[in-house]
Amino acid sequence: MLLDKSFFMKDQVAVVFDSAGTLLHMYRVAKEAETGLILEDIQSTLLVARKPHRALVVFNADPEKVSYYDPQLTLHDLIDTYNIKLDISCASRPFVLDEVYAIIRESNVSVSDINDVVSIVKGHCPDTFYLAAGIIVDAQENQVPYVLSTGGRMYSDTPETIRLLQDIGTDIFIASGDGYNNLEKLALSVGIPLAYVHGVANTRDKERIVRELKEVYGTVVMVGDGMNDILALRAADIGILTVQQGDERPQILWEAADMVVANILEVPAIIKKLYDMRTSTNHDQNPVFKS
């Protein structure tokens, strides 16, 4: 929920960051449920975007704790037995949780499948700052094609980027498909107020957050790196695509952005220049703003 509009002034700038791939360097692993094939260093959002009826579903549970459960327990029984909540992180079309649960009930995915991908991520990222697990569901095929795990750590320049932005008076928000527990840890580490953190935000949620912020800020900047950021990049006054993660990105994502940066440490300089331009140029004449 956004804060009271009276707290903000129209001459302020808000920067909205995605987390995974933007503030955090990620390592993602998928397991094909049907074949058992392990796919390393994948882009989970692209696995969703490949087909029109897919969704990325996040488990609101600590993967470390899940590893202690019976490995033969099916995903459906795991959810029921331990009251594990699910959230839809992104989808290739509008999805509801009832669809997700119906697909899971027909799936043979088990705790051992989750353990397989989590153990690979932990082995690759022993100093991980962030660890999560989830699945991709396909409503057209009525199956769980992939089991996923993600690990990440802050880019070395993330704390400095946030500090520099705050020093010039920028309000910083996080809008991410990741779960609240991991996002709260990130926000506390870099000094972003928890009230400014929006977790389990899908593509349209991010767009909505940007549009709501535009009602109370003079300029809203979106910084993201994936397909689930595309609508927010378009909706923002300035959309900044980061390519620091190094993943391949579809052309449509590049076209949605106004600027591309190789390192998030470039963002404060862009915002500083924006402040400087606003003091000397009328808003309507500023070529940086989208029409």
Each residue's pLDDT tens digit, 102-150: 999 999 999 999 999 999 999 988 778 788 999 999 999 999 999 999 9
Domain count for the chain, please give it. Answer: 2
pLDDT of 1 reads 42
Q: CA-to-CA distance for 158 and 174, rounded, in angstroms?
A: 13
Full residue range of the structural domain in which residue 10 is found: 5-23+155-285
pLDDT of 182 reads 83
Is residue 290 situated within a structural domain?
A: no
Q: Are 168 and 195 contained in the same domain?
A: yes
Q: Are 163 and 263 contained in the same domain?
A: yes
- Stretch 16-38: mean pLDDT: 95
Q: Are 146 and 235 contained in the same domain?
A: no
- Stretch 266-289: mean pLDDT: 74
Domain containing residue 264: CATH number: 3.40.50.1000
Is residue 179 situated within a structural domain?
A: yes
Q: Are 204 and 107 contained in the same domain?
A: no
For the question of whether the overall pTM of this predicted structure is more than 0.75, the answer is yes
Q: Is the pLDDT of residue 77 over 90?
A: yes
pLDDT of 268 reads 98
Rg (CA), the chain: 19
- Stretch 244-265: mean pLDDT: 93
Please enumerate in sequence order all residues whose Cβ is within 8 A of that of 284, keeping only pairs 6 or more positions apart, or say none. none
Per-residue burial over 90-109, b = 16 or more CB atoms within 10 Å of its CB, e = otherwise: bbbeebeeebbeebbeebeb
Please enumerate in sequence order all residues whose Cβ is within 8 A of that of 51, keeping only pairs 6 or more positions apart, or say none. 92, 138, 140
Task: Match 């440490």 to its residue by tokens.
Answer: 265
> Could you report the per-residue pLDDT of 149-206, keeping only the tens digit for each?
999 899 999 999 999 999 999 999 999 988 887 899 899 999 999 999 999 898 899 9
Q: Is the pLDDT of residue 19 over 80?
A: yes
pLDDT of 290 reads 59
Q: What percent of the chain has pLDDT over 70?
A: 92
Is residue 42 situated within a structural domain?
A: yes
pLDDT of 287 reads 46
Q: Are 128 and 59 contained in the same domain?
A: yes
